[in-house]
Amino acid sequence: MTESPAPTSTKPPVWKIWTWKLHWQILFSLLVGAGVGLAWAFLMYKLGPAEEKATLAQQGAVFGLDVMKLIGDLFLNGLKLVVVPLVVSSIVLSIAGLGKKAGFGRMATGTLLYYMCTSLLAILIGLGMVNLLQPGKSPGEAPLLDANRGKAVGEELSGEMSKVDSKKGSSAKDILSVFRNLVPSNPIAAASQTNLLGLITISILIGIFMPRLSDHLVDFMQNFWQSIHDLTMMITNLILAFAPLGVGCLLAATVAEQGNRLLGLGDAGETINLLRSILLFAITALLALSIHLFIVMPVVLACIAKVNPIQHYRAMLPAMLTAFSTSSSNATLPVTLECVEERVGVSRRTASFVLPLGATVNMDGTALYECVAALFVVQLFGFDLTLSEQFFVVLTALLTSIGVAGVPSASLVAIVIIITALESQLIGRGVIDGETGNGLLLSALPLILVFDRFLDMGRTVVNVFSDSCGAVVIGKAMGDDDLYPKEL
């Protein structure tokens, strides 16, 4: 009897990138995208701005950037396309699945408590890092900025200053006005405007009252929402097949555009003297975000949820990389839901409630960044804040991170609110002249916007990862014990 030959290995060669696991494909595309973006930034800087009579090379560089933006935007729009049906169907099925159990109140209370605690921890980390490193402190006796220099910075960075001017009317009332979205007057308008707070309220009401219908209507509604959810997940999987190309182009376009602008700062006169402080501010924010992401969150997973943090990082890698490239918690939500349900193993009833709510109100990275940015601006002018004023920053950052989450340029709106309130307190103490110093602190805001796009990527990763940790913590509390079913 002859022995059968040993089976040959069917493992595909390494160069077949399309056979890699999704998270490795996305990571590879991010590295390629960053390299292409840097090369494109240097190319555009060397060619100079494309004016009316642009050379063929300048036109080609601009066209290439537009093509990268187009591919990235198509992927981003595809993710946004499935957000509304996915959120609504998931929450309806989640709440209806609880039936008459007393689980919804416990889940909602635990979720909100988790979000408040982690956001507060993030803000305190930001507060500690900005006081420790003091990125805005001048190496000499004179502060880095005064009234005249602040005005000059605003003129030199006019593009960024226009963004600040558009948000100057923001106030604490804007926080309260956002909560009006909890009860939308028009559900169709709420869907078209991606008002997730309103959609969550509508979905919860449908899920609560759906089991109270007659049996044949309950079956019909259950099948209807299940069909929408399954169809949406099929479309999501199709979109994710193009994720490596989409995220690569998004990052390449961002690096090319922002890199070209930063290279041009060398001609910005005395503004270049502030580059050290701006870089230190970016480093401070990134260090604080890293502490929250790689120290605080693993402790929460290990001590509260009793799970292996390394497993969770592996499971959430596709969502974290997508969040990094898109800079949008809402756009990343379909990927986050799939990772938490399929790769982590949290039940749909928990994930479909915790994650959409987290993408709307849980902004750990944003809250941390608001605190660092506000204190950095104050340091640039050489002002010292009392303990009570720093506590005020912590409290305001916590509230604004929740209240303005659904507003465009949410972090900028929140920082404007915090700085405006701080300026009023400093005027009240006589530190700032009330007649000439009104709007003084806001004049420095363009400086923090220089690296804002890159910092936005980092804080979105923290936002998304914190949401996923919340799903695990609440899932364990609700009885989800069979986690991480797949070897990743």
The total number of residues written for the chain in this structure: 488
Reduce the secondary structure of 57-89 to three states and give it as a string: HHHHHHHHHHHHHHHHHHHHHHHHHHHHHHHHH
Q: In this predicted structure, what is the pLDDT of residue 144?
A: 74
Give the model's pLDDT for residue 18.
Answer: 67
Task: At 245, list the tokens.
Answer: 């190309």
- pLDDT score, position 45: 80
Two structure tokens written together for 286: 């990134």
Domain regions of the chain by residue span: 19-477
**Could you tell me if 324 and 457 are in contact, meaning their C-beta atoms sit under 8 angstroms apart?**
yes
Say if residues 339 and 319 touch (Cβ distance below 8 Å).
yes
What is the rounded CA–CA span in Å between residue 82 and residue 135? 41
- CB-based burial label for 266 (10 Å; 0-12, 13-18, 19+): exposed
The predicted structure's pLDDT at residue 269: 44
Q: Is the dihedral of CA 347, 349, 353, 356 positive or negative?
A: positive
Query: What per-residue confidence (pLDDT) applies to 150?
Result: 61
Q: Which of 58, 54, 59 is nearest to 45 (CA)?
A: 58
Which string of DSSP letters, residue by residue, matches 200-216? HHHHHHHHHHGGGS-HH
Give me the pLDDT at residue 402, please: 72
* Residues sharing a CB contact under 8 Å with residue 113, sequence separation 6 or more, in sequence order: none
**Residue 192: which residues within 8 A CB-CB, separation 6 or more?**
none
Helices 56-98 and 243-263 cross at an angle (nearest 10°) of 130
Per-residue pLDDT of the chain (488 residues; tens, 9 = 90+): 455 555 555 666 666 676 777 778 888 888 898 889 888 888 888 887 666 566 888 888 888 889 999 998 999 889 888 888 988 998 898 888 776 555 778 888 899 999 999 999 999 999 999 999 999 887 777 777 776 666 665 555 555 556 565 555 555 555 566 667 778 888 888 888 777 778 888 998 998 899 888 988 989 999 999 999 899 989 988 988 888 898 889 888 888 887 776 666 554 444 455 677 888 999 999 999 999 999 999 999 999 999 999 999 999 999 999 998 888 888 899 999 999 999 999 998 899 889 998 888 888 999 999 999 999 989 988 888 888 888 888 888 888 777 555 454 567 777 888 888 888 888 877 777 666 556 778 778 877 877 787 888 899 999 999 999 999 999 999 888 888 876 66
Amino acid at 345: G
Q: Could you give the angle at which helices 103-133 and 364-380 cross, rounded to 10 degrees? A: 30
Separation between Cα atoms, residue 419 and residue 45, nearest integer Å: 34
CATH homologous superfamily, domain 19-477: Sodium:dicarboxylate symporter (1.10.3860.10)
Query: Token pair of 381, please?
Result: 């002018």
- Residue pair 475/385 in contact (Cβ under 8 Å)? The answer is no
* Sign of torsion over alpha carbons 452, 458, 464, 470: negative
Give the separation between CA 118 and CA 297, rounded to whole angstroms: 9
Q: Where are the alpha helices (DSSP H) in 306-442?
A: 309-326, 329-338, 348-361, 364-380, 387-403, 410-428
Residue 333 to residue 418: CA distance in whole angstroms: 28
Unique residue bearing structure tokens 């070897």: 487
The reported pLDDT for the residue numbered 326 is: 85
DSSP tag of 179: G
Q: Which two tokens stand for residue 60?
A: 């080609």
Tokens 């972090």 locate to: 411
